[in-house]
A and B are shown apart, each in its own frame.
Chain A
Amino acid sequence: MHARMMPTRRGLLKKLAAVATMPVAFRLLGWEQGAQAAIAPDGVKQYASIEEEFEGTMLRLFGDKTVDYNGTVVLTAPQMAENGRVVPVEVKFDYPADLAATPFPQRLFLIVDKNRRPLSVVFAFAPMASSGYAACNLRMGGTSPIRAVIEMSDGKLVGAVKNVNVVVGGCGG
């Protein structure tokens, strides 16, 4: 009995010790979440991928505000995408070094006009840690303009549009 109990008790003690030291290790490494308010805590609901028309997306996200396509945002995407499943898109934009006075970019929306769900991805930046670059691979159902819209901290919208020809569409949804 005694011989059989020992290993279990040792195992249990080991487990207890592991559980007890875990929070300490997390705190030491600075991993504890919840110490700081999350950026866009309800982002999943707010920026849900909904099946809708392109105009509906723009209205849902920006209301009656107009987007200023003034050339400060540079959108790089292939002119001709052979495969709509992977379309690399790159966005470069001005990011001020001093954030105290100037308005800074807060959100970046990547929208594919003719997809069933036009809103592809939203980047929400923390002011002090970000810098003017974002990239990802989009899926496209067919030939369509892609647009990158940036919401500044003062509510203004700047953006860029580029048309991408897709040979084989890759978007069932």
Chain B
Amino acid sequence: MSDIGFVRIFAPAKVASGGPIRIRALITHPMDPVLRDAAGNVVVKEYVYVHTMRAYFDGEEILALFPGQSISTNPLFSFNIRVSKSGFLKVVFEDTAGGKYEGEKKIELA
């Protein structure tokens, strides 16, 4: 996959202060599981998956997320956050191959 590590963040365009807003963070990633044959024996164990996601709002960490292998390909994580000011939401993904992928989105209060 050539576009591995493409991060996209979905957030409402205008936000009311203090109210919870729904954030959805998507990363293009194969999330390889261990390959096994029909008998269940391990065939390929060199798998790559996202093991950490951290979300920052204006430099302050607001959420840490630790996925295992049993998360779908191109994982989409949704969560609610509460903000009282405009700022940048930054999301950083890390995978087992040492890749670090990040995306950001401006959150603007109405």
Q: Is the CB of A117 within 8 A of B70?
A: yes
B63 touches A (CB below 8 Å): yes
Residue of A whose beta carbon sits closest to that of B65: A123
Say if the beta carbon of B10 comes within 8 Å of chain A. Answer: no
Can you name the residue of chain B whose Cβ is closest to the Cβ of A123? B65
Q: Interface size for chain B: under 10, 10 to 19, 20 to 34, or 35 or more residues? A: 35 or more
CB-nearest residue of chain B to A124: B64
Interface residues on A, range: 35 or more
- B63 A173 Cβ-Cβ under 8 A: no
Chain B nearest Cβ from A136, distance in angstroms: 5
27 contacts between A and B (CB under 8 A): A29-B59, A30-B58, A30-B88, A31-B88, A38-B64, A39-B64, A44-B66, A46-B66, A86-B73, A87-B72, A117-B69, A120-B67, A121-B71, A122-B65, A123-B65, A124-B64, A125-B62, A126-B62, A130-B79, A134-B77, A135-B77, A135-B79, A136-B67, A137-B75, A137-B76, A139-B31, A173-B70
Q: Which residues of B are in contact with A by a Cβ distance under 8 Å?
A: 20, 22, 31, 33-36, 47, 51-52, 54, 56-73, 75-83, 87-88, 90
